[in-house]
Amino acid sequence: MTLKNMLHAFFNQTGIYIGKRPTVNGKANFSIDGFHYGFSFPSANYAPWRGDEAFMNIYNQIKSNTLVDIYRCYELWQLVQKVNSLDPEAAILEVGVWRGGTAGIMAQQLANQKSNAVLYLADTFTGVAKAGTNDSYYTGGEHSDTSQQIVEDVLNTKSNYPNYKILKGIFPDDTAHEIKPDEVFGLCHIDVDVYESAKDILEWVWDKLIPGGVVVFDDYGFHSCTGVAKLVDGYRHYPDRQIIHNLNGHAVMIKLK
Ligand SMILES: C[S@@+](CC[C@H](N)C(=O)[O-])C[C@H]1O[C@@H](n2cnc3c(N)ncnc32)[C@H](O)[C@@H]1O
């Protein structure tokens, strides 16, 4: 453990948080393209993941394979359990797998549920696709430091769920045809960083979602992904869905019927 980590651990135990929050030009409060960002640090402290042994076991195995923090990983863990209880046959789709961390969390929860639902895992494995004028930071090709083999190693050695299928290429354009036409979905985890990709995935999956099914946008709360906030906020007035902004950064879009 480094001296920095030791100091953090010591002060965090006493309730004093020491850490750096995101800034732009040295400021924690700023706006980009009309979206406001600021120091956000909820005072609530219920932390159920700490007592969830099964979750902590898989999280500790995959945490070096994910860019997603424990709060968002735990929300995925809980949502997989919930949608699987709504419809045990409903498939799960993740677009934006990178090195397989969040995929491993969802796979392990499906294994715990003794599910047979298919877990579809889509990634270009050549980085972010379809960055455009709606995106403030991404230009395309980021997060290419991965491979299908790395993801298969996580799935085969850390989580214990054989019923997954990797879709290599831009989703939906290149690989959606590999999914059987009558497949229905309980959960879609969209972690692709940019507007156009996220939009195409949402529009592809929406009619295939079960009532009560959920689309999770990993990137909604991050200033590097204003395109995703723009996309999700554009659906807020739609009567067929509820959209919740979780301060962990997720937007959770629930299909009402
Ligand atoms: C932030 S990473 C995903 C992080 C991952 N969920 C984790 O656990 O850390 C974003 C990934 O999205 C992929 N990606 C972006 N747009 C895509 C698209 N339209 N189809 C397939 N993959 C895409 C990139 O290749 C990249 O690996």
User: What pTM value is reported for the model?
Assistant: 0.96
From the CA of 170, give the closest atom in ligand 1: 20
CB-based pocket (< 6 A), ligand 1: 66-68, 95-98, 101-102, 122-124, 127-130, 143, 146, 170-171, 191-193, 197
166: tokens are 């990797």
- The DSSP bridge partners found for residue 35 are 32
CA distance 92 to 188: 6
Residue type (1 letter), 116: N
Torsion on CA atoms 54, 59, 60, 62, rounded to nearest 10: 130
Residue nearest to atom 21 of ligand 1 (CA): 123
Check whether 32 has a pLDDT greater than 80.
yes
For residue range 34-67, what is the model confidence (pLDDT) as tens digits? 999 998 888 899 999 999 999 999 999 999 999 9
Q: Does the pLDDT of residue 1 top 80, yes or no?
A: no
* CA nearest ligand 1 atom 12, residue: 96
Instruction: Please name each of the domains of the chain with its CATH number.
Output: 1-41 (no CATH), 46-255 (3.40.50.150)
CB 107 within 8 A of CB 155: yes
Q: With cut-offs at 50, 70 and 90, classify the pLDDT of residue 160.
A: confident
* Closest-lying ligand 1 atom to the alpha carbon of residue 129: 16
Beta strand ranges found along the chain (DSSP E)? 30-32, 35-37, 91-95, 119-123, 164-168, 185-190, 209-217, 241-245, 251-255
Q: How far apart are CA 243 and CA 94, in angstroms?
A: 19
Q: Tell the residue nearest (CA) to atom 25 of ligand 1.
A: 127
User: What is the percent of the chain with per-residue pLDDT over 70, rounded to a whole number?
Assistant: 100
